[in-house]
């Protein structure tokens, strides 16, 4: 399937199934550089229609948002948080390892 058709499919899919958005974005984080920002652009299109609507919702400039949501985009953390917030999402940090770290007192013994 050509890339344009794939993007159109994903925009429609995520519009109809917004509960899939977190998984879609999380999956894009393990792909090569820039994939997350392209996926985020797809989510923006699916949820609110594009950079112009996102600009109104975040207070960020439309052109800055268009530049940010590219494979070579390099957003500030504050901008990324504003975009995610406008989509009803938030950042989270999770452990790469599925084990509980030792408590400080246990490590000293």
Spell out the per-residue pLDDT of the chain, length 109, in tens: 677 799 999 999 999 999 999 999 999 999 988 899 999 999 999 999 999 999 999 999 999 999 999 999 999 999 999 999 999 999 998 887 876 666 665 655 5
Q: At what angle do helices 3-16 and 35-47 cross, to 10 degrees?
A: 50
Whether the CA torsion 67, 45, 5, 39 is positive or negative: it is positive
Domain range for 68: 3-108
Q: Which helix (H) or strand (E) holds 20?
A: none
Other beta carbons less than 10 A from residue 87's beta carbon? 20
In the chain, how many domains are there?
1
What integer pLDDT is reported at residue 53 of this predicted model?
94
What integer pLDDT is reported at residue 105 of this predicted model?
59
User: What six digits make up the tokens of 57?
Assistant: 């919702």
């Amino acid at each position: 399937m050509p890339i344009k058709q794939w993007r159109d499919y994903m925009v429609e899919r995520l519009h109809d199934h917004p509960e899939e958005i977190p998984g879609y974005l999380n999956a894009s984080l393990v792909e090569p550089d820039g994939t997350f920002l392209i996926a985020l652009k797809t989510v923006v299109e699916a949820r609110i229609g594009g950079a112009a609507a996102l600009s109104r919702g975040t207070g960020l400039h439309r052109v800055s948002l268009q530049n940010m949501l590219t494979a070579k985009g390099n957003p500030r953390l504050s901008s990324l948080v504003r975009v995610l917030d406008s989509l009803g999402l938030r950042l989270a940090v999770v452990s790469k390892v599925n084990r509980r770290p030792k408590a400080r007192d246990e490590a000293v013994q």
